[in-house]
Amino acid sequence: MAVRPLGLGLEALERMGLAPDRGYPVLADLAVKNELYVLVAPGSVAGAEELPGVRVLGPGRQLLMPTTGPGAPCAHWISAPRASPPLLARGDRLVDRLRGLTIGHEPNIGHKT
């Protein structure tokens, strides 16, 4: 899932308790798009496309990913995967957090999920 601006996506992940050291694959385009890319389970992001600044990347889409190190400004690991298979963020919870942040209220505020 792609989230713009990048800060919105980072805030949603923080409210979910998904710190960069947890190993969930999160990439950023720091140079061109100011966009955050969060790898989530396929089919887990119902309603995401209704949110401003959110795109669901599905079949036929490509994402530039670093192969070594932290990457480059246009493909930079915010949180590199550490497990195989990689941990995937809960898309439904990310959508809920983004919805709360873009609409102006946060569901279950104070609860990390």
Long-range Cβ contact pairs of 49-56 (< 8 A, separation 24 or more):
51/95, 51/98, 51/99, 51/102, 52/102, 53/3, 53/4, 53/5, 53/8, 53/102, 54/1, 54/2, 54/3, 54/4, 54/95, 54/98, 55/1, 55/2, 56/1, 56/2
pLDDT the model gives residue 107: 45
Domain count, the chain: 1
Is residue 113 one of the residues assigned to a domain? no
Is residue 108 one of the residues assigned to a domain? no
Inter-residue contact 66 to 56 (CB < 8 Å): no
Q: Render pLDDT for 43-52 as a digit per residue (tens, 0 to 9).
A: 899 999 899 9
Residue 109 pLDDT greater than 70, yes or no: no
pLDDT the model gives residue 111: 40
Count of alpha carbons within 13 Å of 41, Cβ hemisphere only?
A: 10
Is residue 73 one of the residues assigned to a domain? yes
Residue with the bigger pLDDT between 19 and 109: it is: 19
| Residue ranges making up the domain that contains 24 | 2-103
Is residue 110 one of the residues assigned to a domain? no
Is residue 53 one of the residues assigned to a domain? yes
Is residue 79 one of the residues assigned to a domain? yes
Q: Render pLDDT for 59-105 as a digit per residue (tens, 0 to 9).
A: 888 888 887 777 887 889 999 888 788 889 999 999 999 999 988 65
pLDDT the model gives residue 104: 66
Rounded to two decimals, what is the model's pTM? 0.84
Band the pLDDT of 39: cuts 50, 70, 90: very high
Buried b / exposed e over 77-95, threshold 16 CB at 10 Å, is: bbbbbeeeeeebbbbbbbb
